[in-house]
Amino acid sequence: MSIYSQLTRETLYLNDAYQLQQVQAVESAEPPYVSTLDALASQLQDDITVVSRSNDDHWMSAIHLCYPNHWSAEAKIGRDFATVHAPVAGMTAMNQRGKAIVQTMITRKPSVRFAWGLSTDTRLNHHPVPPAGVAIDTWQGRAFKPQQPQLYLRIERQVVWGFPDCDAALFTIRTYFRDCHVIKQDPRLNASLVSALQSMPPNSLLYKGLDASREEIVTWLTQEP
């Protein structure tokens, strides 16, 4: 069988077991696709995770990740819901209901939610391990400088699609940025951001990398232009 993508103008050829056999394209992907999942997921802007379930067990069975926000696929693949979300602040109660949440993900209608954080750059890839030769402070995008303020709201649109016939769910993440210089010019949006920062508990500040810079950021946001 074959699949044609109008976005990338690629034709993907699969065998009867849906394994990728060949790609015909005007411009070849670099690096080349390594699997059907890689080829299909590369047609999307979203990162994707597949949650699978068998009997009483569930696990992250597939991850296609290009734009991690301080997490890695290698640390999550094969793990259950509670283990995957253990580092996330405020998730203790939800993690205790991990199996029930996965049941909801698989059996209910698609749902969407938004998560946010702050970054001092607009680089999409914030893998926990920086490339060779790059300082971790530079790579993390969490070093706010009041004298040269660069600050962006990093927003994730997270969608869950359930596939009960497969006993699985698809979780997608699409990332957007909003320049906080623009937000600062809107009194309503700016006040909401300042309020969220001022009311954020210590564990959330630590998780979002804001524990050392919150006060400087709030001061900058509340300063007159």
Domain boundaries, the chain: 1-43, 51-222
In this structure, are residues 167 and 54 in contact, taking their beta carbons and an 8 Å threshold? yes
| Residue 210 CB-density burial (10 A; 0-12 exposed, 13-18 middle, 19+ buried) | buried
* Phi and psi at residue 57, to the nearest 5°: -110, 150
Determine the Cα–Cα distance for residues 119 and 117; give it in Å rounded to an integer: 7
| Residue 220 CB-density burial (10 A; 0-12 exposed, 13-18 middle, 19+ buried) | middle
- pLDDT tier, 178 (very low <50, low <70, confident <90, very high otherwise): very high
Determine the Cα–Cα distance for residues 211 and 202; give it in Å rounded to an integer: 7
pLDDT over 90 for what percent of the chain? 91
Cα distances (Å, whole numbers) of residue 133 to 68, 136, 141, 223: 20, 9, 16, 36
| 77-136 confidence digits (pLDDT tens) | 999 999 999 999 888 888 999 999 999 999 999 999 999 999 999 999 999 999 999 999
Nearest CA-CA partner of 101 in 33, 53, 35: 53
Nearest CA-CA partner of 118 in 144, 86, 93: 144
Residue 189 reports pLDDT greater than 70: yes
Residue 201 reports pLDDT greater than 70: yes
Q: Give the residue-averaged pLDDT of 11-38.
A: 93
pLDDT the model gives residue 225: 66
Q: Give the residue-averaged pLDDT of 218-223.
A: 96
Determine the Cα–Cα distance for residues 9 and 25; give it in Å rounded to an integer: 6
Q: How many helices (H) and strands (E) does the chain have?
A: 10, 8
Instruction: Provide the angle, in degrees to the nearest 10, between the axes of the packed helices 187-198 and 214-222.
Output: 160
Give the three-class secondary structure for 35.
coil
Nearest CA-CA partner of 101 in 81, 115, 87: 81
| Residue 185 CB-density burial (10 A; 0-12 exposed, 13-18 middle, 19+ buried) | exposed
pLDDT the model gives residue 194: 98
pLDDT the model gives residue 103: 97
pLDDT the model gives residue 146: 92
pLDDT the model gives residue 27: 86
| Host H or E run for residue 22 | strand 20-25
Residue 216 reports pLDDT greater than 70: yes
| 28-39 confidence digits (pLDDT tens) | 888 999 999 999
Residue length of the chain: 225
| 153-175 confidence digits (pLDDT tens) | 999 999 999 999 999 999 999 99
Mean pLDDT over all residues of the chain? 95
